[in-house]
Chains A and B, each alone.
Chain A
Amino acid sequence: AQTVTQSQPEMSVQEAETVTLSCTYDTSENNYYLFWYKQPPSRQMILVIRQEAYKQQNATENRFSVNFQKAAKSFSLKISDSQLGDTAMYFCASAPPSGAQKLVFGQGTRLTINP
């Protein structure tokens, strides 16, 4: 079974700073998918970025990038030039390559961007 661990319950940074959220996972699969979702107070889970385990290149989406270390089973999210709108809960998740591909989530990190 897959497990996902986020060891930072809360983080707080100043606007325009760079922040990195940590995530580790465990799986017996050789290929799988990894995601970061953002959940603002509106409750809507929004996909931030996704990574396919067989791809060596780290995924990037504008100010968001990941550091994917497959051997270490680590998948951290870096947010550059943080903005007030980045304030939210961030969840790391994994999914197997087949079957239902149901998501397994970490516990979440509450990120606050201060003006």
Chain B
Amino acid sequence: GAGVSQSPSNKVTEKGKDVELRCDPISGHTALYWYRQSLGQGLEFLIYFQGNSAPDKSGLPSDRFSAERTGGSVSTLTIQRTQQEDSAVYLCASSLWRGGQNTQYFGPGTRLTVL
């Protein structure tokens, strides 16, 4: 079946602009995660959704970052007033929440470059 998809694959923007990154999880997966991968910080958790609610958003680095999920499916990560330090690969993952161990399956990521 189809895996996790993300769009766009690459995004170049100017400092101060807003960007939206999209994630389509595997059909039926109730849990969705956003991570950020940057040279300086490695792989960091940003936010977790269970259904449409976000019980853990502890990794969002500032109030410029927000995310939503609708219909228990697609999620959008929005970064307002982008800064150069926001340049990174943003990875989305989903899992089928059944209790116990929930393996996360990743999308190909969106590479964001802020000029």
Binding site for B on A (CB under 8 A): 33, 35, 37, 42-47, 50, 52, 91, 93, 95, 97, 99-108
Contact = CB atoms under 8 A, between A and B. Distances in A.
B65 interface: no
B interface SS class: strand
Contacts, number: 55
B108 A44 contact: yes
Interface string B74-91: 000000000000000101
A103 B48 CA distance: 11
Nearest to B101: A33
Given A103-B45, A108-B42, A47 B105 contact: yes
Interface in B4-53: 31, 33, 35, 42-43, 45, 48, 50
